[in-house]
Amino acid sequence: EMSEATVRLSHARKHAHAQARSLAYARAHLHAHMLTYARASARTLVHGRTHTHVHARTRTHAHARTRTHSRTLPPTRTHWLAFTRLRSHRPAHAHVHARAHAVAHVARTFTCTRLRP
């Protein structure tokens, strides 16, 4: 029969170990998550959407994956082809800046938010 103190101690040790493990996990995966969110938000900033529409014929037609949803057309009534292919409504390299901005924003968010146990 273990004394109450021993039980409490083993429980505390178990809890501390679990906590350390979860923190290690969080630290390991934080970077991956940051990149994921940054990519998603950059995509949103550039295209106004996070997901690209995947067509059934993606294999045969390389460009198919980036085809636009009819509902995500730009506010100006551009021809859909001009929008999907040329993207004439936004400057070249805009995606680069948007991504940099998103990464900075996410990094800032993560550094300001403390990981509390």
DSSP 53: P
Average pLDDT of the segment spanning 100-110: 70
Q: Burial of 106 by CB count in 10 Å (0-12 exposed, 13-18 middle, 19+ buried)?
A: buried
pLDDT digits (tens, 9 = 90+) for 56-78: 444 444 444 444 444 444 445 54
pLDDT digits (tens, 9 = 90+) for 7-37: 888 888 888 888 777 777 777 777 666 776 6
**Contacts of range 84-91, beta carbons closer than 8 Å, 24 or more positions apart:** 90/46
Determine which of 4-8, 19-23, 82-86, 103-107 has the lowest per-residue pLDDT on average.
Answer: 82-86
**Alpha carbon 24 to its chain's center:** 20
Average pLDDT of the segment spanning 91-102: 64
Task: Identify the pLDDT of residue 51.
Answer: 52
pTM, 2 dp: 0.23
